[in-house]
Structure 1
Amino acid sequence: MNIKKIAEMAGVSVSTVSKIMNNYSDVSEKTKRRVLEIIEQTGYTPSSSAKTLATKKSNLIGVIFAGELNVEFTHPFFVEVLNSFKKQMGVLGYDLIFFSNEKFINSGDYYSRCLHFHVDGCVIISGEKMEPAIQELDRSHIPCIGVDLELTGKKSGYVMSDNYQIASKVVEHFYLLGHRELGFIGSTADSDISNRREAGYVRAIAGFGLAMNPGWFVHGGDFFEPSGYEAMNSLIASGNLPKAVFAASDLLALGAIRALKEQGLRVPEDVAIIGCDDIEACQYTSPTLTTIRQNKERLGVLAAHMLFDLINNQSEGGSFVVEPALIVRESCGSGLTHLNR
Structure 2
Amino acid sequence: MTKRYTIQDIAMLAGVSAATVSKIMNNNGNISKATKDKVKAIIEETGYSPTHSAKSLASKKSNLIGIVYAGKINVDFSHPFFNQVLNSFKTQMGLLGYDFIFFSNEQYKNNYLSRCLHYNVDGVLIVAGDVVEDAIGQLDHSTIPCVGIDIELTGDQSSYVMTNNHKISHLVVEYAYMNSIDRIGMIGGTHDSRISMLREEGFREAMNKFCLPIDEKWVTYGDYYEDSGYRMMKKMISQEKELPELIYAFSDLMALGAIRALREEGLHVPTDVKFIGCDDIEACRFAEPKLTTIRQDKEKIGMLAAKLLCNLIDQKNTSRSILVDPELTVRESCGAALNKSR
TM-score (norm 1): 0.82
- Counterparts of 1:150 and 1:227 in 2: how far apart (Å)? 26
| Equivalent residue for 1:104, pick from 95, 107, 122 | 107
Aligned position for 1:159? 161
Counterpart amino acid of residue 128 in structure 2: S
Q: Distance in 1 between matches of 2:326 and 2:91?
A: 22
Partner of 1:265: 267
Provide runs of 4+ in structure 1 moved above 4 Å. 51-54
Could you say which residue in structure 1 is the equivalent of 2:281? 279
Pick from 69, 87, 95 the counterpart of residue 91 of structure 2: 87
RMSD (Å), alpha carbons: 2.3
Q: Report the counterpart of residue 67 of structure 1 in structure 2.
A: 71
Gapped runs of 5+ residues in structure 2? 3-45, 47-54
Equivalent position of 1:238 in the other structure: 239
- Which deviates the most, 68-77 or 298-307? 68-77
Contact 2:74-2:224 within 8 A present in 1 as well: no
Separation in 2 of the partners of 1:223 and 1:84? 21
Residue from 129, 132, 135 that aligns with 2:134: 132
Where 2:322 maps in the other structure, the secondary structure is strand
1:115-160: CA deviation from partner (whole Å, max 9, x where unpaired): 0111000001111111111111001010000001110100000000
Whether the 8 Å contact between 2:308 and 2:318 is mirrored in structure 1 is no
Matched, 1:224 2:225: yes
Query: What is the percentage of aligned positions where both structures have the same residue?
Result: 53
Which amino acid in the other structure matches residue 263 of structure 1?
E
> TM-score, structure 2 length as denominator?
0.82
Using the alignment, how far apart are the partners of 2:319 and 2:171 within structure 1? 29
Q: 1:161 to 1:226 in 2, by over 3 A?
A: same
* Closer, same or farther: CA 108–336 of 1 in aligned 2, 3 Å: closer
**How far apart, CA to CA, are the structure 1 residues paired with 2:110 and 2:177?**
51
Partner of 1:6: none
2: CA distance between counterparts of 1:186 and 1:314? 38
Within 5 Å, which residues of 2 pair with 1:1-341? 55-101=59-105, 103-105=106-108, 109-220=111-222, 222-239=223-240, 240-315=242-317, 317-336=319-338, 339-341=340-342
Task: Identify the range of structure 1 (309-318 vs 162-171) with the bigger mean alpha-carbon deviation.
Answer: 309-318
Query: Is the 8 Å Cα contact of residues 70 and 126 (structure 1) preserved in structure 2?
Result: no
> Number of paired residues?
294
SS in 2 for 1:73: coil
* Maintained 8 Å contact 1:150/1:158: yes
Deviations 1:48-72 (A, max 9, x none): xxx9897331010001111222422
The answer (yes or no) to whether the contact 2:65–2:122 under 8 Å persists in 1 is: yes
